[in-house]
Structure formats: structure tokens, C-alpha cells
Amino acid sequence: EAGVAQSPRYKIIEKRQSVAFWCNPISGHATLYWYQQILGQGPKLLIQFQNNGVVDDSQLPKDRFSAERLKGVDSTLKIQPAKLEDSAVYLCASSPDSTYEQYFGPGTRLTVT
Amino acid sequence: DAKTTQPTSMDCAEGRAANLPCNHSTISGNEYVYWYRQIHSQGPQYIIHGLKNNETNEMASLIITEDRKSSTLILPHATLRDTAVYYCIVGNTGNTPLVFGKGTRLSVIA
């Protein structure tokens, strides 16, 4: 079974620029999550989708971050404009239902200079 | 905030059992204990979960105390590939999010 795919794996941008990350979850998984992991810390949930609807986006900085999941499959996470403190690994995960057995992708490492 | 307390780091000799403790003294009756691990430069990987009874799968065993206030993840024969950060998480199934703490950094030494 193919795992969660993410791209790009690495991205370096300057502050105030915009960036987008893409995630393709495991086929058939209804729930999709985006996490932010700052160096030395555990992942922090940014947003959770159930099919193409948002379940939880309480920790998403909505003034600069946006996410969508079109047709309940792929998802994109965008940051505009980026700040230095956005430097982190952005992880996408999916699960067949809203459980704690989540499957994570390899992540995108973002560096903002 | 994470509802668990774990040691920052542990060492284990290769081939020996690794016992990773977790304290979750405020766990409520319908909350599960979940364990994930994160190998360097990879996303977290689900290991095991339990409610009250001890659980075992091909990766590990989970021992939960009778009062459910603490648990231990056991890797029976640790290998170098088990070197990772191990996260203990408590919560309900459903739409409540995973809340990761800082975990325990396990180093398996040859």
C-alpha cells in the first residue's frame, strides 16, 4: 500500500514570500491532517479535514495560513506571507476515520530566511 | 498541552529490552494511551494503543497499570533501527486531535 506522499521535501524562501505544500493521502482515507513541527518539539496540529470539510482549524494562523482539500483527496497548505518563525517541518497525515491511528508522510522542511 | 510525562532520553543496549515509561495521571476513563515514534527525518509512525488491558503487536508491548495512571512501552529486542523519539499520547478517538509532547529520545547502542 502506498503511503502518504508530500512535496516538495525541502523548500527555502525569504520572509514575506509565499509557499505551498502538497499532500496526497493514502487512498480511501477520509481524514487528513496537517501538522507543524518546530525543531526539538513534537508535531502540532494545524488543521484536520474530514473528506473535504474542516473539522478543526483552531490552531491554524488564519491571517497567513490557508489549506484546502478539494474533492476530499489531495490537500494543499499555503503560507502567505511567510515569517522567520514558520521555519519548521510540515507533516501531512491521514487516517481511514477520525482515530489516533494516523499515517504520516515524510514531511516538507521549510526554511525561511 | 500534552497530558503525559516522559523522560527526556534513554539508552538501551542492542538486543536488550527497551522499557519506555509514561506518566498520565490525569487520564480519564474513556481515554486511550497511544504510542508513536519518529525516526530521524521521517514522519511519526504509529506503534500501539490500549485502553485498560495490556496489548501486544509485532512491534511492541504496552503495559498499562491497573489505575491507568502510567504505562510502559516495551520493545523486546531493541535494534539500532529502533533509535527514535517515542511519543506517549492520551486522548479519545473521534475528532479530538493528537497532542504530542516532546517524547523520549531512545538511543540503541551497539
B43 Cβ neighbours under 8 A, 6+ residues apart: A4, A91, A93, A104, A105, A106, A107
Contact B87 A55 (CB under 8 A): no
Q: What pLDDT is attached to residue A15?
A: 97
- Mean pLDDT is lowest, of B5-14, B52-61, B63-72, B88-97, for B88-97
Q: What pLDDT is attached to residue A8?
A: 97
More confident residue, B2 or B42: B42
Shortest CA gap B77–chain A (Å): 24
Q: Which residues share a beta bridge with B85? A: B38, B105
B44, B93, B101: residue with CB nearest A99: B93
Q: What pLDDT is attached to residue B49?
A: 92
More confident residue, B71 or A51: B71
Shortest CA gap B14–chain A (Å): 25
A41 Cβ neighbours under 8 A, 6+ residues apart: B100, B102
pLDDT at B94 over 80: no
Q: What pLDDT is attached to residue B30?
A: 86
Contact A91 B34 (CB under 8 A): no
Taking residues A74-90, what's their average pLDDT?
97
A60 Cβ neighbours under 8 A, 6+ residues apart: A46, A47, A67
Please give the share of chain A, as a percent, with pLDDT higher than 70: 97
Asked if B99 contacts B91 with a C-beta cutoff of 8 angstroms, the reply is yes
Contact B43 A56 (CB under 8 A): no
> Half-sphere exposure (CA, 13 Å, Cβ side) for B17?
10
Taking residues B16-33, what's their average pLDDT?
94
CA–CA distance, A79 with A96 (Å, rounded to integer): 27
pLDDT band at B1 (very low <50, low <70, confident <90, very high): low
